[in-house]
């Protein structure tokens, strides 16, 4: 795929990109601000399974976008942490916040006839439950989790599956993510890799991965679509 110009400030350039007709979104850090909830769930799971000591949440945060068991393997932490982490994530789901501008963005994209998907490092049931709790699950044609593909991000499988379900045109599809794994997954699927900069992402690392387009607020995505 041809690289598109990158916006390092102000609105995205989007030059050379055909009008987008399908969007694949990451979830955490793109649609929702779940960092406080994840921190609490991780802290409780660490205390329950590992015991005393400072939970290495900052390191965990650097691996966001990956499937939770994969992060545990990378960090050398017990896979048994997944159970209490998931339990606490469900319990605290009502505290997750939708980013400002996201509901309006989703409504306008649907009004313009775009097909929308979520492809997340979460499990599919947990992602669908969270989006249902927040009242925006109905905006998406498909919501997929990492447990529903053979290889989670940074592999392209989850993006390719979402595109297949939507019947998406690769030349007119973008993946919006806040992690390097999202960009890698998009590129592996042969679509435009878009960086979302409005969450708690590691901006330096994300920009170093050279995303095709950079968005500073959700509404900027509309400039890549037809009115």
Instruction: State pLDDT tens for residues 36-51.
Output: 999 999 999 999 999 9
Told to judge if 26 belongs to the known catalytic residues of this protein, a careful annotator would answer yes
Radius of gyration of the chain (CA): 17
8 Å CB contact between 154 and 185: yes
Q: How far apart are CA 132 and CA 144, in angstroms?
A: 14
Identify the active-site residue in 28, 178, 182, 212.
28
Domain coordinates in residue numbering, the chain: 22-33+97-224, 35-95
Q: Which of 26, 70, 182, 212 is catalytic?
A: 26
CB 82 within 8 A of CB 67: no
pLDDT of residue 14: 58
Residues above pLDDT 70, as percent of the chain: 93
Query: Are 144 and 120 in contact, with CB atoms under 8 Å apart?
Result: yes
**Whole-model pTM?**
0.91
In tens, the pLDDT along 46-65 reads 999 999 999 999 999 888 88
Q: Which residues contact 45 (CB under 8 A, 6 or more apart)?
A: 81, 82, 83, 84, 85, 88
Pick the CATH number of 22-33+97-224 from 3.40.50.1000, 3.40.1030.10, 3.50.50.60, 3.40.50.300: 3.40.50.1000
């Amino acid at each position: 795929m041809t690289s598109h110009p990158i916006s390092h400030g102000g609105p995205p350039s989007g030059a050379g990109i055909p009008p987008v007709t399908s969007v694949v979104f990451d979830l955490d850090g793109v649609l929702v601000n779940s960092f406080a909830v994840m921190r609490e769930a991780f802290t409780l799971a660490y205390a329950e399974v590992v015991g005393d000591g400072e939970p290495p949440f900052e390191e965990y945060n650097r691996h966001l976008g990956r499937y939770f068991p994969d992060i545990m393997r990378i960090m050398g932490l017990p896979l048994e942490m997944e159970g209490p982490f998931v339990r606490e994530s469900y319990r605290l789901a009502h505290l997750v916040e939708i980013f400002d501008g996201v509901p309006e963005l989703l409504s306008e994209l649907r009004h313009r006839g775009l097909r929308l998907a979520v492809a997340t490092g979460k499990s599919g049931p947990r992602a669908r439950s969270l989006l249902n709790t927040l009242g925006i699950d109905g905006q998406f044609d498909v919501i997929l989790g990492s447990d529903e593909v053979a290889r989670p991000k940074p592999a392209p499988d989850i993006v390719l599956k979402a595109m297949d379900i939507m019947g998406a045109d690769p030349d007119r599809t973008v993946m919006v993510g806040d992690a390097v794994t999202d960009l890698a997954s998009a590129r592996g699927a042969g679509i435009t890799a878009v960086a979302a900069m409005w969450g708690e992402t590691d901006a330096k690392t994300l920009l170093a991965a050279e995303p095709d387009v950079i968005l500073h607020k959700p509404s900027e995505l509309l400039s890549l679509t037809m009115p």
